[in-house]
Structure 1
Amino acid sequence: MKKTLLIFAVTLILLTISRHDGFSQSTTYPTIAEFTKGMEEKPGFFPLQWDENTGKIWLAIPKNNEEILYYPSLASGLGSNDIGLDRGRLSGAHVVHFRKAGKKLLMTERNYAYRAITDNAMEQKAVEESFAESVLWGFEISAQSDTHYLVDATDFALQDAVDAASAIRRRNQGNYHVDPKRSAIYLPRTKNFPENTEIEATITLTGSGAGGYLRSVTPTAEAVTVRMHHSFVKLPDDGYTPRLFDPRAGVNAVSFYDFATPINEPIVKRYIRRHRLIKKNPGPAPSEVLTPIVYYIDPGTPEPIRSALMEGTEWWAEAFEAAGFINAFQVKLLPEDADPMDVRYNLVQWVHRSTRGWSYGGGITDPRTGEIIKGKVTLGSLRVRQDFLIAQGLIADYLETGEVNDVEMLDMALARMRQLAAHEVGHTLGLPHNYIASAHDRASVMDYPHPLVKMSDNGQIDLSDAYDSGIGEWDKAAINMAYADFPEGSDEQQEIDKLVTAYRTKELDFLSDQDARPAGSAHPSTHLWDNGADAVQELNRVMEIRQQVMNDFSEKKIKMGQPMAILEEVFVPMYLFHRYQVDAASKVIAGVNYQYTLRGDQSPSPSPVDATEQLNALDALLATVSPENLQVPAKVLALIPPRPYGYYANDRETFQGKTGLTFDPLTPPKVAAEMTLSFLFHPQRASRLVAQHAMDESLPGLSEVMAKTITTINRFDAQTAYQEEIVRIVQKTLLNQLITLYQNGQASAQARALAFSGIKSLNESLPASGTPEQMAHQTYIENVIQALEQEPITPSKMLPTAPTPDGSPIGSESYQWLAPVCDFTVH
């Protein structure tokens, strides 16, 4: 009897515990109406309830367990390009559903990177259970109705959803975490709509160890307050038809494993990214569309920039018209009552930062199909000022009377804004960069354009054609391949093949980031910030313009009343005006012509650049490091004094000299010499030189290039002591580059062997001289080589490199200024 009572008591205790732990199968919840009495209701996609008394937001989640799209974003940011937490930044999108587990709703993300596209449910289940899913949050159920569960979404909304603390930490700007006491729901931007629910919160990150970037953009660095936004969005219906990816088409893709694929077919599937666009009258003939693509411009953009952005964005209408879509692409100003984070608005947003930085074209894509749901462009406001600065250095002639005529400079800056808007919107339409377009008469806004500066017949700088106007021929071809409505019953791949053949017949082509960005890349016509079909010819032309600008440089480049010291900021992009064309010309050396090809294409095989062209490129590059081209004109040196009180040095946009407050006349030559010689002796280029000469002795090899470089530099005719010192700088820089090549494990063994031989050759061929400066120079080189023969030389034992200022059209190739990916990155 006692044993029976004991078992009964234990059973009762366990049942009681199970109920409190949420495992009871018969839990009774209050109704949502009862629970939310007195709260402010916000009906919509996921009904919201706001409790003013507690500061809580309650979310009613449908019981149907249907998948939706969730993505967080940053409604207000830090204003620091270096940290990267910009106003309007989108985080990754997640396809989620809500699975009930006892008293919890688990917000679960399915792993769409691995699928089985089949009607066999068991085959689908096998894939789903083979790969991890992600539970993004667990909500406690507080009430229910026949159709919904009610959960407290406050803690969810107050999380660091965009991982801002990690972004701050990665940039060494301090250790921060969310402070719940200083965080709260931001009701003005918490809204509801029929197909999307938007929740916004004020989030305060507190911490210590704030770095300079963070301190410069926060009023109190120990408390960083931003606003984070959460979007719950109805997924598109099944009326969208995915289009298979083709690498020749110039369109971005989503990819995934399809384990239902037959064994004799590729398991990785790829769909292009594009907006849904359906004609009223299907087929290739021109037709209006059921729902146009509409882009909205941020009304916070000032004039005349706002109008320029609208004009540049509107260029894409021509591309869609050419593809057979009538009135399919439209541009409007964002309504005052619209929420920029609302998924219904494709947006071009104007963002302010404390420093100049990238612009982005991104958005939200349905990862299941590649359908673009929201296009989002972020444009940094300081970019336009950099273009104005370049124009200022080229043509400014401010009078002593104080009279100002900025019209031509403003025109160039606004022309760039039109092009930039079109470029970033192009990313949100699905297009990647096309860096070969500049070699085909500026055929695409998806290239990075350097201002095309010309010389008029009377010897004046001409900016009238600095930036092209309108969509290029490639852009029309790419939009056609992405969006064209093919004839009913046609084979899609065959139609794409026809379009590829058509654009290649017009001598257009497509090559993107992996072919252009790496400093050692091989294609002779694929570069960033270059111009012209012939990179070498354009370099020679740019050097002539650079010389003209240097000769004409004067105090008239700044306005009356401005400190003379800021002339340096105008001078830097003029001195380095050739920097990107040097990069372009270097790729001719050991260059290889090629295309993206599929089997069956009638495309030429990859082929090396002609030997004569390679040697012409070498001559042009070596001319850029001559003392005549590297010296800073004496009159410029006389113009730039030390910085006055209150005007601190702009270390990013100016040269980092070794002479203290005074302008260092030897640092600019060092920067420019390092730029040219580092491109020339890049490990990949050096290795290709070895390989191409081994395959064809008529092509130059690394030994020939090194020998000509050493001979040319050692024979420079220095006319002044200043030029003599520049020659010594170039020789030391060459030594550094050859040592770097010799010690680089990524270079081929023979390239490293030849680099070591070149090091000794450089030393042996130095001209004899009895001056103390030259003797010290030769002793330095001999000592470095002797040390190298004993053990590897660390960078600290080599001549320190000089940082290249960021004063260029967008910035340097460094992390701080160039993005990756200013691309279509968020999906």
Structure 2
Amino acid sequence: MFRRIIIATALLFSICAQAETISGLTAGLDRQQGLFDFYWDDRKGRVLLQVDQFDRELLLLTGLAQGLGSNPVGLDRNQAGESRVVKFERVGNKVLIHQVNLDYRAQSDNPAERRAVEEAFASSVLWGFEIIAEEGSGVLVDFTPFLLSDQHGIAQRLKDAEQGSYSVDASKSAVYLPRTRSFPQNTEFEAQLTFAGSEPGKYMKEVVPTPKLVTLRQHISLVALPEDGYRPRKFHSRSGYFPLTYRDYATEIDQPMDQRLIFRHRLQKKPGSNEVVEPIVYYVDSGVPEPVRSALIEGASWWNQAFEAAGFENAFQVKLLPEDADPLDVRYNVINWVHRSTRGWSYGYSVYDPRTGEILKGNVTLGSLRVRQDFLIAQGLLQPYGKKDADTEKLKAMALARIRQLSAHEVGHTLGLAHNFIASTEERASVMDYPAPLVTLSGNDLKLSEAYDTGIGAWDKLAIRYGYGIADDAEQEFLAGIIEEAQQQKLRFISDPDSRAINNAHAESHLWDNGEEVLEEFQRMTELRRHALENFSAAANRPDVARSSLDETLVPVYYGHRYQSEAVGKLIGGLDYNYLYNDAEGESYTMVPADRQQQAIDSLAATLKPQFLTLPEKVLQLLPPKSYGYSRTIESFPAYTGVTFDSIAMAEAAAGHTFSILLHPERAARLQQQQARRGAGPGFNTLLAQLTAQALAHGDYEGLQAAVHQRVNHVYVHQLMMLAGNKKAPASARARANFELARFQHAIGEMKLFGDDPHGYNAHYFYEANRIAAYMAGDLEVEAGDIKPMPPGSPI
């Protein structure tokens, strides 16, 4: 009897569970209708998601509505995450979120062929839910655990930035209702996540009130994939676009498997007209203050010039974001204004359809402190505060000019465009370059009127035609014609892999530079720097700030040559080349002529001389210890001297930068190979011989210049040791560095070091000889961090 009661009770529970309906379970709950309907259970603090679209592909997006505020960590307000194609799958009493693997495909009408590829490569199930109710074809799941999980990869980002080991504390996390809602084509969720951790890093301590507990808001979107009708466009290496790459196993044997498409918005014309069906509209964050807001709108609007040149009428528009719009809503292309504790990078990122490359949303994040950095550069150069009523209008105009250009630049990325770092050689042909402020010296006056460009460039117009132009007939011929037109106009495209690092080989493509001729621009900039340093005064800062803050104002002036130095360095062992296809005529590349390489070596060697690195005494007299209430920051000069200004450490940092260019192992290898091929011209051995001779020229200097010379020599020996011990460097470069250390040591051994020593050279050379001996014996290890670094330069 007892057994029968148990069985009957179990059957009753089973019947009740099966009878649980969505309408019954959600009675009285707040309902949101849209792409996915969901219910808010206020009593239990949970989101119940109704799923009735199984096996339908859609986009899953993550983002941050509230950021950390630290540029080095990179978790910013309104940051958009990866675009992932997923689908809901029902398996028994479970619902899975399954991410589709689109890196490997078979674009074939044969379902068996497509299935063969799908089954050959792994996919990813991101989450599983138990069904708690169902009705008709729909089921209900508790979506809350997924929303309160770290889908944006916040904990990993903190770990990678060495800020500590953190994980979500569920007891301190909750759904954020004000930005949780559903629309016809997208459903939006937001959660306030608290991460608990131990041993927080310095950046966490800078920006989080309780560093062991950091609370951020994560945004998650479920978005319908776009309707059919979009035509993907093929990528070309000289088109200027980012590539979407995948492998197609259905291609013919004589065709490449790797397929490349460009990223771009959908843009269509009305029949028989240049008017568009739907314009591309970007919205500027309403939290941007004036006059920056107007500058952002104006700069972003420049792109309409390019679309007009491509044959569209009013196709690109910029407006202010409506008050009721969510910046992370996929329906809005947004230019976000992001505050951080320090200046940092701005970004242009796109939400896109991973199947085709169609851009669904442009998302720009602009760091708010960038405008102040440009103002600081102008402040140090023009020194406007010498009069009671200081006129700073020229400085503000330069800073706003940069913001216009920056707005256009980052929006360009969200249109699909990559950096074009060679554009500065052709009269500022693209806003997709990184521009340095073009400051000119006229007599004794510095001019800022042409610091930044004021519109879209010739390259940008061609690139928009390639990506968005509509071909009347054959598209491939149309695109090939644009590539040919760019070549005829001498508009080139070279991007990040060949430009960004100081060791890159491309001789013409650089960051933060101006002008067609690298060496001429270097001479012009060093002359401008000399003028600015000789005339630097207390007028560089406001009268109502501490005098010791002149330190930070002087930094971008003293190190003003740093990026043009990198450009000059790329001539040494450098090549000039384009992204050629195999049907191109002529040589694949050319080596920089030997005499030009020697001029580059001479130019950089000059930046190591005490005359270049030593500040005038009248400037040193201006720089006191930090005032009470002020302290050194990462924007300050380095120092060994405690609270006082260190005029030698600043030179050490500058020399370290120059030597890192001249003695980079890849550059050394290229120099050696080029000399071997040409049989003439500067080789790595002649470069080192020139630097060693300069280091041993102790009779030329006295006083502070002698002290600076000795510190530069110390850096030189240190960098030689770094190269000699670098296991990733070629053996030939390591051998040459070892030999030069021995030669340097031998030259010191020939000196009479125990005579008169008014400038400290005897002790200096004795110390360096002993360091070399210890290194050769394996008793001394050296690291890059042993040399004082410059304050950060990028972004400027």
TM-score (norm 1): 0.92
More moved, 148-157 vs 301-310: 148-157
Aligned amino acid, residue 219 of structure 1:
P
Distance 1:799 1:479 in 2: 44
2-side partners of 1:190 and 1:313: how far apart?
30
What CA RMSD, in Å, does the superposition of the two structures yield over aligned residues? 2.2
Unaligned 5+ residue runs, structure 2? none
How far does residue 206 in structure 1 lie from its aligned partner after superposition? 2.3
Deviations 1:481-516 (A, max 9, x none): 11111122x151x33222111111111100011101
Aligned to 2:594: 611
Query: Counterparts of 1:694-713 in structure 2 under 5 Å?
Result: 694-713=676-695
Residue 717 of structure 2: aligned partner: 735
CA distance in 1, matches of 2:105, 2:19: 37
Q: Displacement of 1:764 after TM fit?
A: 4.0
Residue 665 (str. 1) matches residue 651 (str. 2)? no
TM-aligned CA deviation for residue 474 of structure 1: 0.9
Kindly indicate whether the alpha-carbon contact (under 8 Å) linking 1:627 and 1:718 is maintained by their aligned counterparts in 2.
Answer: no
Give the superposition deviation at 1:581.
0.4
Residue 56 (structure 1) aligns with: 46
1:687 aligns with 2:672: no
- Deviation of 1:166 after TM superposition, in Å, equals 2.3
Aligned residue among 597, 603, 620 for 1:637: 620
* Distance change in 2, residues 1:717/1:447 (3 Å): farther
Shift of 1:788: 3.0
Q: Which is worse superposed, 542-551 or 165-174? A: 165-174
What is the alpha-carbon distance in structure 2 between the residues aligned to residue 207 and residue 688 of structure 1? 47
Kindly indicate whether the alpha-carbon contact (under 8 Å) linking 1:64 and 1:147 is maintained by their aligned counterparts in 2. Answer: no
5 Å-filtered alignment, 1:648-659, equals: 648-650=631-633, 652-659=634-641
CA distance in 2, matches of 1:16, 1:700: 90
- How far apart are the structure 2 equivalents of 1:85 and 1:196? 24
Q: Deviations over 1:507-545 (max 9, x none)?
A: 110001110112211111111111111111111110000
Q: Does the 8 A contact of 1:360 with 1:379 survive in 2?
A: yes
CA distance in 1, matches of 2:642, 2:446: 34
1:789 to 776, 779, 785: 776
Gaps of 5+ in 1: 1-7, 812-827
Query: How far has the Cα of 1:765 moved from its partner?
Result: 4.3
**What is residue 393 of structure 1 aligned with on the other side?**
380
Paired position in structure 1 for 2:319: 332
729 and 69 in structure 1: CA distance in 2 versus 1, 3 angstrom threshold:
same
The percentage of counterpart residues that share the same residue type is 45
* Between 55-64 and 610-619, the greater mean CA deviation after superposition: 55-64
Q: Which moved more, 1:217-226 or 1:498-507?
A: 217-226
1:360 aligns with 347
Displacement, 1:478?
1.2
Q: Name the CA shift for 1:432/1:466 in 2 (closer, same or farther; >3 Å).
A: same
Matches within 5 A, 1:159-174: 159-174=149-164
Q: Tell me how far 1:204 sits from its aligned partner.
A: 1.6
Give me the whole-angstrom Cα distance separating, in 2, the residues matched to 1:764 and 1:266: 58
Secondary structure at the counterpart of residue 90 of structure 2: strand
Distance 1:717 1:497, change over 3 A: farther
Specify the alignment match of 1:816 in structure 2: none
1:374 matched residue in structure 2:
361
Q: 1:471 aligns with which of 456, 477, 495?
A: 456
Q: Secondary structure at the match of 1:244?
A: coil
Kindly indicate whether the alpha-carbon contact (under 8 Å) linking 2:648 and 2:708 is maintained by their aligned counterparts in 1.
yes
Instruction: Please say if residues 552 and 637 of structure 2, whose CA atoms lie closer than 8 Å, have aligned partners that are also in contact.
Output: no
Helix, strand or coil at the partner of 2:385: coil
Equivalent residue, structure 1, for 2:126: 136
Alignment counterpart, residue 594 of structure 1, candidates 574, 577, 595? 577
1:568 corresponding residue in structure 2 = 551
Corresponding letter in the other structure for 2:761: Q
- The alpha-carbon deviation at position 686 of structure 1 amounts to 0.6
- Assess if the C-alpha contact under 8 Å between 1:718 and 1:727 holds in 2: no
**Is 2:523 the counterpart of 1:540?**
yes
2:306 equivalent among 295, 298, 319:
319
Shift in alpha-carbon separation, 1:799–1:410, aligned structure 2, 3 A: closer
Q: 1:604 to 1:483 in 2, by over 3 A?
A: farther
How far residue 404 of structure 1 moved from its aligned partner, in angstroms, is 2.6
Cα pair 1:85 1:164 within 8 Å, conserved = yes
Is the 2:284–2:296 Cα contact (8 Å) retained in structure 1?
yes
CA distance in structure 1 between the partners assigned to 2:458 and 2:393 by the alignment = 30
Query: Following TM superposition, by how much is the alpha carbon of 1:634 offset from its aligned partner in structure 2, in angstroms?
Result: 0.8
CA drift of 1:426 comes to 0.6
Picking from 466, 472, 486, the partner of 1:503 is 486
- Which residue does 2:294 correspond to in 1? 307
| CA–CA separation in structure 2 for the residues paired with 1:114 and 1:279 | 33
Using the TM superposition, give the Cα deviation of residue 181 of structure 1 relative to its aligned residue in structure 2, in angstroms: 2.1
Note the C-alpha offset of 1:708.
2.2
Q: What is the CA-CA distance between 1:225 and the residue it aligns to?
A: 1.5
Three-state SS of the structure 2 residue aligned to 1:228 is: strand
What secondary structure, in the 3-state scheme, does the structure 2 residue paired with 1:28 have? helix
Report the Cα offset of residue 159 of structure 1. Answer: 1.3
The answer to whether the Cα contact below 8 Å between 2:38 and 2:50 also exists between their aligned partners in 1 is: yes
Letter in 2 for 1:735: V
Match of 1:518 among 501, 505, 519: 501
Greater alpha carbon shift after TM alignment, 617-626 vs 139-148: 139-148
* 1:202 counterpart SS class: strand
Give the letter aligned to residue 752 of structure 1: R
Q: Which one of 90, 95, 111 corresponds to residue 105 of structure 1?
A: 95
- The aligned residue for residue 510 of structure 2 is 527
CA contact (8 A) 2:60 2:220 kept: yes
1:345 matched residue in structure 2: 332
Match of 1:182 in 2: 172
Counterparts of 1:810 and 1:171, CA distance in 2: 19
1:480 aligns with 2:480: no
Alignment pair present for 1:234 and 2:211 = no
SS of the counterpart of 1:635? helix
Say yes or no: does 1:243 pair with 2:233.
Answer: yes
1:658 to partner: Cα distance: 0.7
> In structure 2, how many angstroms separate the alpha carbons of the residues matched to 1:191 and 1:335?
17
Partner of 1:451: 437
Note the alpha carbon deviations across 1:616-666, whole angstroms, 9 max, x for none: 11111111111111001111211111112211211x111221111100111
Tell me how far 1:690 sits from its aligned partner.
Answer: 0.5
C-alpha spacing 1:701/1:16, structure 2 compared with 1 (3 Å):
farther
1:776 aligns with 2:732: no
- Structure 1 partner of 2:34: 44
Maintained 8 Å contact 1:448/1:529? yes
What is the CA–CA distance in structure 2 between the aligned matches of 1:411 and 1:529, rounded to whole Å? Answer: 19
Distance 1:29 1:167, change over 3 A: farther
Q: Does the CA contact (< 8 Å) of 1:443 and 1:474 recur in 2?
A: yes
Deviates more, 1:741-750 or 1:503-512: 741-750
Whether the 8 Å CA contact 1:387–1:809 is kept in 2: the answer is no
Alpha-carbon displacement from aligned partner over 1:677-716 (angstroms, at most 9, x marks no partner): 1101110111011100110013321112222222244337
Counterpart contact for 2:351–2:361, Cα < 8 Å: yes
The structure-2 alpha-carbon separation of the partners of 1:270 and 1:653, relative to structure 1 and needing over 3 Å to count, comes to: same
**In the alignment, which of 83, 89, 110 is matched to residue 73 of structure 2?**
83
- 1:724-763 paired onto structure 2 within 5 Å: 724-763=706-745
Equivalence for 2:284: 297
Matches within 5 A, 1:790-809: 790-791=777-778, 793-795=780-782, 800-806=786-792, 808-809=793-794
Secondary structure at the residue paired with 1:639? coil
What letter corresponds to residue 135 of structure 1 in structure 2?
V
Contact 1:386–1:809 (CA under 8 A) maintained in structure 2: no
The alignment partner of 2:384 has SS state of coil
**Structure 2 CA distance for partners of 1:612 and 1:29, relative to 1, 3 Å:** farther
Query: Is structure 2 residue 675 aligned with structure 1 residue 675?
Result: no
Letter in 2 for 1:217: V
Counterpart-to-counterpart distance in 2, 1:250 and 1:771? 63
Question: Displacement of 1:448 after TM fit?
Answer: 0.7
Whether contact under 8 Å (1:626, 1:713) holds in the other structure is no
Could you tell me how far apart the structure 2 residues matched to 1:716 and 1:607 are? 39
Deviation at 1:768, TM superposition (A): 5.8
CA distance in 2, matches of 1:792, 1:588: 36
Superposed displacement of residue 93, structure 1: 1.7
